[in-house]
Amino acid sequence: MDFRTYLLRAAQLFDEEEWRSRDKSPEEEEGDTRWGNCLPEILLEDIFSLLVPKHRHEASQVCRTWYQAFYAPRVWGTFVLMETTLTKRRFNLYKGYQRELCPRKTQVCLQRVGHLFKKIIITPLSDFYNLYEFLRVLSAFLEYYEEHEEYPMPLLKTFDFTFACENRGMTGSIVHGTGGKILQILETLLGNMIGLKHVSVNQLLLGPEEVPGLMESLAKNCAESLQTLELLNCCKVPYPMSDITQFGNLHTLTISPQHLDDEMLLLLAGMGLGKLHIVQDAYTCDTEPINYEVWKLVKEMAPNFRVSLSLRGLTKKEIVIQPHAPVYCVVYRAPYSKINLDFASSLCDYYPRYLEVYAQEGFPRSHGSRSFVDRGDTTFVHLVRICPRLKTLVIRERISYATLLIIASLGKNLENLVVRENALIKKMDWPMLSGWTDDFYRFLKKNSKNLEDTTREVSMLLKKSWKPLRDEDFKKVSIKL
């Protein structure tokens, strides 16, 4: 039984006397010792925030205390639109019962608790009609109250929109971009929002002629307030989005590589951008890296400019290397990716003075070899040796106990070393290398026989308590860019 089901079941177990508690006098309520009324407000609000709007409403009918918690500002700080949010069942002659967005429910929700929203997250919806209807109602709500009264969502600072560009069809997966009415209403909505600080608009896959209007709408009321912007695959072909330079106070930009070019990068460096996160996924089109001479000029113009490279989703592509860029972080969030010597050599050639983080998040979707030749042990060791500023290393691939000891001994500035316990191999399969002393080789052979000895020695080398993570803990690891 999950947490939501448990909470609803607990609400149903209240007897009739508890349901009539809203009619009690204040003196009688003070003497009520039932757990529903005795929970601290902050815990009750946390519980309500974990529920979808429908179940929040059901729980609010239990008693007066829960009814008051329903309208607490912390409960409605984040609004997430999912497939069944604010929908009702309707029978379709050809498809049977379908979930259809109810405009009335949406209007009531926005009128009663919309002023408490700090963040609106629109997840990928397979039903485009429901998506369009929500955007339309929300846009009309903002436009109406903005004209007749003060802005109805003064706390709203974050808007996150991701379009479901991939659907399952009769012939398999179908990838398509948005446009038409959905794009028009999205532009209208962005134009009606005021004072946004954080915006994400992802996976639109537009044509080049449709892109400019999106940034113009966002800049209408947010040109000075916007601080972080995420634009992933807004265009399905290489298209530099130079309109981003309208946002003068932007300090963090997350963008796909096809939206960058030499001129735009120089503009971003000149406007004082602090961090640039270049993200690739399965929908990112092939593109060329920025010229290395431009990166050198960027480092001269903005010495504190920092760049990260990331790969996400179900893709077997490799990260596009940006030669001589000030890359401090490389993160893999793709289950098919594995480290290879060519890519690691590129990192060591271009970023030895900058690289601080190399991480592989999640679990791989392929079995790693137990053979020393086919594993990435030598590649990880080479990376740690050549990049002295490396502070965080997250490894999900198979490595041996001896490799773990070598990494810990070489990583002088290594602060976070994260490996999977189930991916460690009890082996000492390293040959004697030039530069190693006989004492060091005996040290590796002696402490690679069991996990307890290896863990103890790694803790001593890192000068702190250390142990490998079990899989349930490793899957929670997430690098904040």
**Can you spell out the DSSP letters for 380-437?**
HHHHHHH-TT--EEEE-S-EEHHHHHHHHHH-TT--EEEEBGGGEE----PPPPTT--
Angle in degrees, CA 86, 87, 88, rounded to 5: 135
Computed from CA positions of residues 398, 400, 401, 402, in that sequence, does the dihedral angle turn out positive or negative? negative
pTM of the model: 0.88
**Residue 33 pLDDT exceeds 60:** no
Instruction: Tell me which of 75, 102, 132 is where a domain ends.
Output: 75
Bridge partners, 172 (sequence order): 169
Band (166; pLDDT cuts 50, 70, 90): confident
Give how far the C-alpha of residue 474 lies from the chain's centroid of Cα atoms, to the nearest Å.
Answer: 16
Which run of H or of E encompasses 231? strand 228-232
Q: What is the pLDDT of residue 37?
A: 61
Give the confidence band of 174 by pLDDT, cuts at 50, 70, 90: confident
Domain boundaries, position 65: 38-75
Q: Read off the pLDDT band of 47 (50, 70, 90).
A: confident
Residue written as tokens 């069944």? 84
Domain count, the chain: 2
The verdict on residue 95 lying in a domain is: no
**Average predicted confidence (pLDDT) for the chain:** 88
Confidence (pLDDT) at 18: 44
Whole-number pLDDT of residue 172: 73
Q: Are 137 and 107 in contact (CB under 8 A)?
A: yes
Least confident range from 16-25, 111-120, 193-202, 359-368: namely 16-25
Grouping H, G, I as helix, E, B as strand and the rest as coil, residue 228 is strand
Q: Are 372 and 433 in contact (CB under 8 A)?
A: no
**Tell me, what's the pLDDT at 146?**
73
User: For position 17, what pLDDT does the model report?
Assistant: 41
Within a domain: 208: no
Query: Residue 257 in contact with residue 281, Cβ under 8 Å?
Result: no
First to last CA, the chain: 35
Digit-coded pLDDT (tens) for 275-324: 999 999 999 999 999 999 999 999 999 999 999 999 999 998 899 999 99
279: closest CA among 345, 226, 228, 333? 333
* Mean pLDDT (whole number) for 252-262: 95
pLDDT at 25 over 70: no
3 state SS of 82: coil
| Per-residue model confidence (pLDDT) at position 66 | 86
CATH of the domain at 60: 1.20.1280
Q: How deeply is 467 buried, as exposed, middle or buried, from its count of CB atoms within 10 A (0-12, 13-18, 19+)?
A: middle
* Domain final residue pick, 75, 99, 134: 75
- Confidence check: pLDDT of 27 > 80: no
Q: Render pLDDT for 96-145 as a digit per residue (tens, 0 to 9).
A: 788 899 999 999 999 999 999 999 999 999 889 999 999 999 999 998 87
Would you say residue 10 lies in a domain?
no
b/e map 406-415, b = 16+ CB within 10 Å: bbbbbbeebe
> Does residue 253 carry a pLDDT above 50?
yes
Helix (H) or strand (E) holding 201: strand 198-202
420 forms beta bridges with: 469
- pLDDT of the residue at 35: 55
More confident call, 177 vs 326: 326
DSSP code per residue over 422-481:
GGEE----PPPPTT--HHHHHHHHHHTSSHHHHHHHHHHHHTS---PBPHHHHTT-----
The arithmetic mean of pLDDT across residues 346-369, rounded, is: 92
Of the two residues 396 and 43, the one the predictor is more confident about is 396
Q: What confidence category does residue 238 fall into, taking pLDDT thresholds of 50, 70 and 90?
A: very high
Q: How far apart are CA 121 and CA 102, in angstroms?
A: 18
- pLDDT score recorded for residue 32: 47
Share of the chain above pLDDT 70, in %: 92
Residue 9: per-residue pLDDT: 52
Enclosing H/E stretch for 252: strand 252-255
pLDDT value of residue 179: 84
Q: What is the mean pLDDT of residues 433-457?
A: 93
For residues 393 and 384, the answer to whether their CB atoms sit within 8 Å is: yes
- Domain ends where: 56, 75, 94? 75
Give the pLDDT score at 1.
Answer: 47
d(Cα 7, Cα 1) in Å, to the nearest integer?
A: 10
Amino acid at the residue 79? F
Q: Would 51 be classed as within a structural domain?
A: yes
59 confidence band (pLDDT: 50, 70, 90): confident
